[in-house]
Amino acid sequence: AKKNPACVAFCNKEMASYNKKRHIIEQNLRKILFVNEEPQPQQLFMVYQPFMSLPEKQLAGFEALVRWEHPELGVISPGEFIPIAEDTGLIFTLSHWVVNRVCEQLVEWHQQGFDFKRVSVNISALELMNIKFAEDLLSLVVQSGAQPCWFKLEITETALMAIPEQAIEILQKLTMADFEVAIDDFGTGYSSLTYLKSLPASTLKIDQSFIRNLIDSSEDQAVIKAVISMAHSLGKQVTAEGVEQQAQLDYLIAHGCDVAQGYYFSRPISVQEVSRLYFEV
Ligand code: C2E
Ligand code: CA
Ligand code: CA
Ligand code: CA
């Protein structure tokens, strides 16, 4: 079939601007991660989104999420720049920065006497490819004066299934060192039940795609009920992410979900807001 020249031109143009944006993001990420000579305004920073225990709705920890605010490009979402960091190998430096930054924050909160429970940090699939990931992370945490028992590590189901044997080994080491592990975006990958049984993870974090239409979808309800009952039989906790509505929360509470997170309780917030809203009496 002959291609419509107008369409080809349009697609190429779109492609070109897509590549250009990727390139700009990569260049900028490189710059902020590697050029520290001049003290620049902090473009990269962390925000924290609370978790609530159910049914009490008490603070059960936070998830640390990275943010990038570029002076000209504006706010770039991690959904956009994390994949680029992964494609270009910058993810290792970025993760290193994230872990250090969160450690500093937790040391500070600890010194101020704040009970932050555990703080979750997202781990990229690529980091698990490194057999020494557990050792490297442990030394990073210890060197900064933080403690593994302050952390939960969120690892996606897909990342785990990419290298099941190695992942189990790494998770065992992390757990022995007193980190806790949660399987993120649970339900969107394909873990076998055999595998799940032996996985050293304390928590299954149900993906928000199952929560979104929960109220109208009997299929989503069935999945959620099954995940909660299976997790509990295996001695694991269930966290629901992306909870926005009272009705979703009521359903989760009625079916024994342990922890919830989402805009219903709070968006990800700055460090200042965290101490104002959660730690000040
Ligand atoms: P994720 O780990 O699945 O994080 C959940 C995302 O859902 C976050 O988006 C969060 O802000 C958003 N969210 C929370 N509650 C709600 C809600 O009630 N409704 C809706 N619609 N969304 C909600 P965010 O912060 O833009 O992060 C996107 C993804 O980027 C994360 O997905 C995670 O995979 C990745 N990411 C974020 N920070 C980091 C990081 O420091 N390191 C790594 N490796 N990945 C990160
Ligand atoms: Ca996560
Ligand atoms: Ca998730
Ligand atoms: Ca996700």
Q: pLDDT per residue over 134-146, tens digit each?
A: 999 999 999 999 9
Whose CA is closest to 259, among 36, 51, 32?
Answer: 51
Given a cut of 90, is residue 264 above it in pLDDT? yes
Of 68-77, 170-179, 224-233, the poorest mean pLDDT is in: 68-77
* Pocket residue to mutate for ligand 1, from 81, 98, 103, 241, most atoms within 8 A of Cβ: 241
What's the average model confidence in pLDDT over 100-129?
A: 96
How far is CA 278 from each of CA 60, 104, 240, 270, 274, rounded to the nearest angstrom? 11, 18, 21, 12, 6
With cut-offs at 50, 70 and 90, classify the pLDDT of residue 193: confident
**What pLDDT is recorded for position 93?**
93
Q: What is the rounded distance in angstroms from the CA atom of residue 268 to the CA atom of residue 265?
A: 10
With cut-offs at 50, 70 and 90, classify the pLDDT of residue 197: confident
Given a cut of 80, is residue 70 above it in pLDDT? yes
Q: Which residue's CA lies nearest to atom 32 of ligand 1? A: 79
What's the average model confidence in pLDDT over 116-121?
A: 97
How far is CA 53 from each of CA 62, 101, 165, 253, rounded to the nearest angstrom? 11, 26, 32, 10
Q: Which residues line ligand 1 (CB under 6 A)?
A: 49, 65-66, 77-79, 82, 95, 98, 122, 124, 154, 184-185, 208, 241-244, 262-263, 268
* Pocket residue to mutate for ligand 1, from 82, 98, 151, 269, most atoms within 8 A of Cβ: 82
With cut-offs at 50, 70 and 90, classify the pLDDT of residue 206: very high
Q: Encode pLDDT of 20-60 as tens digits.
A: 889 988 998 898 888 765 545 578 999 999 999 999 999 99
What's the average model confidence in pLDDT over 150-164?
A: 93
Give the position, in ligand 1's atom list, of the atom nearest the Cα of 185: 3
Q: What is the rounded distance in angstroms from the CA atom of residue 215 to the CA atom of residue 39?
A: 49
What's the average model confidence in pLDDT over 54-69?
A: 97
Centroid of ligand 1 to alpha carbon of 1 (angstroms): 42
- Give the DSSP letter of residue 269: B
Q: What is the rounded distance in angstroms from the CA atom of residue 190 to the CA atom of residue 183?
A: 12
Centroid of ligand 3 to alpha carbon of 240 (angstroms): 9
pTM of the model: 0.94
Q: Which residue's CA lies nearest to atom 22 of ligand 1? A: 242
With a pLDDT cut of 70, the percent of the chain lying above it is 94
Q: Please identify every residue whose CB atom is under 5 Å from ligand 3, which is an ion.
A: 184-185
* Pocket residue to mutate for ligand 1, from 93, 94, 105, 122, most atoms within 8 A of Cβ: 122
Centroid of ligand 2 to alpha carbon of 123 (angstroms): 8
* Pocket residue to mutate for ligand 1, from 65, 185, 246, most atoms within 8 A of Cβ: 65
**What pLDDT is recorded for position 1?**
53
Q: Which residue's CA lies nearest to atom 21 of ligand 1? A: 242
CA angle 152, 154, 157 (to 5 degrees): 145
Given a cut of 60, is residue 128 above it in pLDDT? yes
Ligand nearest to the CA of 263: 1
